Amino acid sequence: MDFTVIPAIDIMDGSVVRLSEGDFYRKTTYTAAPLEAARRFEDLGFSRIHVVDLDGARCGHVINYRSLERIALNTGLSIQFGGGIQTGSDIDIAFASGAAAVIAGTAAVDDPPLFRQWLNTYSGRNVILAADVRHDEVAVRGWTVSSGRGAGEVVGEYIDDGLQTVICTDITRDGLLNGPSLDRYRGLTAQFPDLRIIASGGVGSLRDIEAAAAAGCSGVIVGKALYENRISDLSLKRLLQKQGDPLCRQNG
């Protein structure tokens, strides 16, 4: 599998923000608007971005779909979109607003028949499972509630239903720039070798990106490190221009 580096745009109150450990009261707000951030990433050479509706995640339904729509209409980026996708109406809004793929976690835990229906209707290529963990338990409803279940258990429930891609965020590392949870990803990629496992949380350097690839991940989501220039634009361009390096090939 090719390895994909995916920049993150988290939206709250119309602004680009980053949370620390998923805490809505520990946020950093950046000056760039969502569309401006997306254009920067496109100019750098990325083809895919990760957009999260934090207001939607907190409230339980999609809210920032207009920001998604503006990015989709004004860039050529492929957008994976999550946050508040818990009903059929939410997923319809996301796709209608320009998402290439949707990300759902709460629905997968709370309503397995609905999540299976989405996999069947939209295919595993277009529906991504978020198995985000805090202290080894998947957290749902905007990361505010523990499901009491491990990531492997939740992912395994859909292994025969066409699931192709899983994003696993280590919430205790998210926004802290202290490195990804490599042992966790080694375990998941070993347990589910046919799935694309996307690492998220803690990435603070190019070395962290390389470590996620070495751990068997199919991609990594990078947020705060990009906004705070822990990884320079020049370094990113060089990374993305290495045509023969599987680390740098971009999936649309």
- What are the catalytic residues? 10, 132
In the chain, what is the greatest distance between 2 CA atoms, to the nearest angstrom?
Answer: 46
Dist. CA 26–CA 160, nearest whole Å: 38
CB 3 within 8 A of CB 247: yes
Dist. CA 139–CA 156, nearest whole Å: 16
3-state SS, 91-131, equals HHHHHHCCCCEEEECHHHHHCHHHHHHHHHHHCCCCEEEEC
Amino acid letter for position 82:
G
Tokens representing residue 211 in the block: 């470590």
Dist. CA 54–CA 13, nearest whole Å: 9
